[in-house]
Structure 1
Amino acid sequence: MSRDRSDDRLEDVLARAHGQLGIAVYDGLMGRGGPPELRDPDQVLGRLLAAAHRRTGDAVVGRLARRHGRGPVERAIEKGNAPAEGLLMRRSAPVRLKYREQALGCARRCWPLDAVQVTEIAVEAVRDLISSLEDEVLPDEMCDRLLRLSRDVGRVLALPQSAQLPSALVGYDYLDEVDDYLSTCAARLVAQARSSKQLLDSELLPYFGAPEVSWLGMLEVSQDLADDLDLAHREAMALSKAVAAVKEASTDFRGADLRSVELNGVDLEGIRWDASTNWPPEWEQRIWKASLATGAGHGELIVGAEPHDSTVPADI
């Protein structure tokens, strides 16, 4: 193995270790109420770990910058290390629970409409147009159908941009990770939808106002539009999966240790848990009373909106 390749592998390991340490330190701090004050010895330890992590990060970034002129984030992007669906579930359960309402709010903002359905309808409409053009037939209602398609695809362009939420330890804040995950998928979908709408509005629809029908020209543009809309549909599916992953990370707390979480003010409705989930002792009875079996088997429970008259059997 060459020296350069060996150095690259070492830098990758350092960057990955630095990232994992940052997540662990951040989740440990935020899961217990936020950055500590210098009083309790355990909190002092947390502050020292955070400081050590920052210094380690500075050293890693400096080393990479000297050799390659770029840091670990850029190198990760080049290698395609984008957030995967399962990574959110690996974050600390107390942090996921503490910020579940904000995370679910991010998901709702990124999914105000069913973009998968919008793009499916658009693809179907353009394929119908292609079929008609191949037969040199142009249905009377096709222009109106394409105008509705343009309007609906335009709604996709209104998906929100990144909220740029502030973080205590930049790059490791859980809500930053959620926002980056969703906004990256949304940005790709918006870009593809914009390209499709421009092609539709500027190149295909003008054919309907022309004095003579150019079958070949309309067919070529329609085929290009179908390809663009297929890509938009794939990006819509990716965003749909990202939204589902955020909801899953904000809902699934089976087997989680939540004893350190301050639950006052936290919306627990809809949370899935089981007998191996550890709640704060003062909340345990209330959680059992407010929960029902999901019917999914394996002792899975879901927290309801209101307490029940009887407690769910502990041996479920």
Structure 2
Amino acid sequence: MNEKINTLKERLENFRDRVQSGEKKSNKWKKRWQKYSSKLYLFMGLLTMVGYCFFAFSRNFFEDDSPLKDSGIGQANVTKIGSSEVTVLSREVNEKTGYAEIFLHVDDGKDLVNKEYVVFAGEVSKQQTVKAKLVPLIENYYLVQLTNIPEKWQLLAIDFGYNAEKKAPTSVNQVDEKQAETAKSNSQQATLYWDVRKSKTNEKLTEKPKENYLIYVISEEEKETKGRQKKLATSQKEIEEELSKIYDKIDQYSEEIQYKVGKEKEETQAEIDRLKRDIEKYDKASDEIKNEQKLMAEKLKKLAEKKKRFLLKQEN
């Protein structure tokens, strides 16, 4: 009996020792936790702040990979506004002063309306209005001047459009067309976008006298006219080469028809007649090209005179 009591006593003592040992370990961990918990909380707080700053301001440090929304410049990026087509010729911005210039070419179309163009602008990401001024230059050319562009802008939206009034008809057909038209809005507009990623700042850009802008658009018109002349010359050369081939074919068939009879002779004659009709079409096209080439030459002459006049004003 005493042995059983002693055994039980030993077990109780062992259990007590284990409990006390566990309490010591627990107290040891508690002391460690109390020592390092404040530092851990501080680390977690700093980690949270760093994570927030990374997601909030990462585009300031890394390349912006959001979708590019830009209307572009040049003939490959024509924007339709009702019956008109608008091309951005060039654009520049001085981010230091918040001033920008956009040159537009407008093809008015052939509808029977007088169009009064207007412009408004704003910064999309900041939802901030930007002051916009529209300056008419020579025919079909406009300058948009933007001021007070906010610092660190991301995307500019330029609303360009027109208010329209019907022109008086100049022929009976136009009277009929006007009566046949259904009621529709007398104003049209489209938005031209300018993404900062498609822009380079020009710190020398400032507002200049109007003569400077006129000289620029005249130079652009000269460039376009010369490009048109080049295309006309290419088309004229192609027509001449095609006519040469047709005349050779006619000579060939005219030689062969002398030795043909019946249906074969009729078919060859029909082919000769078809080729002669083609000659008439090409001759007509050639005459039209020559007339347009003459007009282009006259236009270049007048543009040169106008440009010279503005250059003299600029010097004075």
TM-score by length of 1: 0.29
Q: Which structure's CA Rg is the greater one?
A: 2
* More RCO (CA 8 Å, sep 6+): 1
Structure with the largest fraction of helix:
1
Structure with the largest fraction of strand:
2
TM-score by length of 2: 0.29
